[in-house]
Amino acid sequence: MKTGMGHGASVTNSQFPMPDAQLKLYLSNFQNMTEQANGLLKQGISQYQAHQFEAALDSWRSALILYQEVNDKRRSGAALGNMGVAYEALSDYAQAIECYQQHLDLAIEIGDRRGEANALGNLGNACCAREDFEGAISYQQQRLAIARETGDSRGEEEALGNLASCCDAKGDFPAAIECYQQQLAIARESKDDRVEYKALKSLKLAYKYLADYEKANEYRQLQLAIVRQLFLTNKNSNFVQLAETVGLNPVEDFAGADLSGFDLHYADLVGADLRETNLSRVDLTLADLSGALLSGANLVDATLCNANLRDAELSGTNLSGADLRTKLPRANLTGANLSNANLSSAYLPNAILVEANLHGADLKNADLSGVNLSGANLNGADLSRADLKNVVVENTRFAGCLGISQGMKIELMQRGGIFE
């Protein structure tokens, strides 16, 4: 409205309607600018996804100018929000916060609650990155309030996760745990598996930081139960990848777990902690277990044919009846139970088998050169054509062994072997 024209009269644009041709041209220009801006917005997204952050920023800045030309405040806010994300990717948090603040102001002006929530969440994340934890927590709490007010369960889950991350970064683990527990409850109610897995992992790690290992293990067991159910439902899945999807770390989270009967052939378990793990009847054909910790594990009747067990720690492991036709150089099998195990053609140079139980084991063609068999029980084992060069056999029992020539028997007795 314009005032002060002709005898104090008030005149509006509606009194002078725009000619049809001019109106059509205006609408056409309006539509063209909007379409051009929308194209730039999409282009920026593609560039951002390709990690072309500077180019994305330019596209969104151009889109913003066009949206401002047509007075589209909602889309102007979206462009500003995207620009803030690009600035964050470029580690320019000050500029990111400026963009998010402008987005927030626009969203509040036009009553765009979703845009307001997004801007608050982005402000919280940017403040957290700058270690302004109080500001970050305040913004995330405001975002959470909007999500609850509008019944946005997905937004509530995300806000709780971000709020927990801020509390976590601040070192307030009890507050973070409270957020994660609320997030977990919502995820289960809405059957959002992805968020449930993430919340379980976060809770496990938070309790670990607090040195509450009992509670951390409770959440680990929940993760293991989920991955077991998922794996048994689809046995063609890659178990290790499935476990990682649920939030488990194969290197440290399988210790003491019950993985009995699983098909883990080709599994990458390099350096994994599998102490006290139940791996009975597991198929570990061609699995990589080099450097793995398997002390006290249950591998009864497990299949380890051609598995990589270089430098593996297998002390006290129960390998009774296991298929060990594989490479075990330098493996520590002190006190292991290998009764009736299949070690035919196995490669064990310099392995440690002190006090191991090899009763009835099949060791045909096995390479036992340099192996320490002190105090081991090889009664009834088949050593046909086995390489026993430089083997240590002090107090090793060989009663009823097959495949040992008379000359080799005498030599082994001279080294301390027992044949009674």
The pLDDT assigned to 8 comes to: 36
The pLDDT assigned to 76 comes to: 94
The pLDDT assigned to 32 comes to: 84
| Residue 281 dihedral angles phi and psi, to the nearest 5° | 65, 15
The pLDDT assigned to 22 comes to: 54
The pLDDT assigned to 282 comes to: 95
Residue by residue, what is the 3-state secondary structure of the chain? Answer: CEEEECCCEEECHHHCCCCHHHHHHHHHHHHHHHHHHHHHHHHHHHHHHCCCHHHHHHHHHHHHHHHHHCCCHHHHHHHHHHHHHHHHHCCCHHHHHHHHHHHHHHHHHHCCHHHHHHHHHHHHHHHHHCCCHHHHHHHHHHHHHHHHHHCCHHHHHHHHHHHHHHHHHHCCHHHHHHHHHHHHHHHHHCCCHHHHHHHHHHHHHHHHHCCCHHHHHHHHHHHHHHHHHHHHHCCCCCHHHHHHHHCCCCCCCCCCCECCCCECCCCECCCCECCCCECCCCECCCCECCCCECCCCECCCCECCCCECCCCECCCCECCCCECCCECCCCECCCCECCCCECCCCECCCCECCCCECCCCECCCCECCCCECCCCECCCCECCCCECCCCECCCCECCCCECCCHHHHHHHHHCCCECC
Report the predicted TM-score, pTM, of the whole model to 2 decimal places: 0.75
Interval 339-354: pLDDT, tens: 999 999 999 999 999 9
The pLDDT assigned to 12 comes to: 38
| Residue 101 dihedral angles phi and psi, to the nearest 5° | -65, -40
The residues that bridge with 278 in the sheet, in sequence order, are: 258, 298
The pLDDT assigned to 14 comes to: 45
Q: Which parts of the chain sit beneath pLDDT 50?
A: 1-16
The pLDDT assigned to 2 comes to: 35
> From CA 242, how far away is CA 23, in angstroms rounded?
60
